[in-house]
Amino acid sequence: MSRFGILCLCIMLLAFNGNLAGEVASVDSITITTVYDNNPFVEGLVSSWGFACVVQGLERTILFDTGGDGGVLLANMEQLALDPQIVQIVILSHLHGDHTGGLADFLQVNPEVTVYMLESFAEHLEKDVTERGAQLVTVKEPVEICQGVFLTGEMGTAISEQALVLKTSQGLVIITGCAHPGIVDMVKKSQEIGKLPPCLVMGGFHLLGASRPKVREILSQFRELGVAKVSPCHCTGSEAISMFAETYGQGYIQNGTGRVITLER
């Protein structure tokens, strides 16, 4: 390989390993900033039970989930120099309050967004969105929401949920809120839609309290599915997170409030 080729490869690997908060991605990059999580990462930010992240560098800027408290969400975004006005799409993964609780406060400062939620969501939440002036789109089946960006559509029975899927030059990035339908099934569904191998799976994996054999089984399935990197947080649980970190080594990206992951578009 030429020196130029080696240099390009090194730049791609460095970009994908995840940058610390404060670093700015190039125009050819996608950044995913965790703005709400119960795991601390950057000092000075508030960590609280729930999850939300901002995805930049796509055709449209996305807020995926809104955490459980709007004040915490907006304060963390301010500390991270993320103006709520840059968000154009809000996606709600599932109905639980630790993922939807910040929505009303967010829409109060930026109602000029399109909100994607599942058809099965409560009518009062749909009413809250439209009354605040935002555009509402309900989701049942998989849908492309902008170029190279998909939602899995409604998955699960007891608790319905959807995941966010991004197509990148390195494969699929799959972001889950809690993965109530099962993290492995959500990865499989994402692959069916995106037709690429999964380069990164991040978010809540719903493994808090799961047995070690159960987590080992999921790790084995991740390997079989070709998942290259993982960044579990929220409801994954500290023991399961430790197991992912040990198994994936350099392919594990620590996550928490303020974490910024940068990857090539």
> What's residue 123's pLDDT?
83
Q: What is the pLDDT along the chain (265 residues), one digit of tens a residue?
A: 444 343 343 434 334 444 333 333 334 799 999 999 999 999 999 999 999 999 999 999 999 999 999 999 999 999 999 999 999 999 999 999 999 999 999 999 999 999 999 999 978 889 889 999 999 999 999 999 999 999 999 999 899 999 999 999 999 999 999 999 999 999 999 999 999 999 999 999 999 999 999 999 999 999 999 999 999 999 999 999 999 999 999 999 999 999 999 997 7
Name the CATH superfamily, with its identifier, for domain 7-264: Ribonuclease Z/Hydroxyacylglutathione hydrolase-like (3.60.15.10)
Report yes or no: 227 and 32 within 8 Å, Cβ to Cβ: no
Token duo for residue 57 = 């560098």
Helix/strand/coil for 116: strand
Q: Nearest 10 degrees: CA dihedral of 166, 35, 80, 255?
A: -80
- Which CA distances in Å does 156 have to 79, 178, 229? 36, 12, 24
> What's residue 7's pLDDT?
36
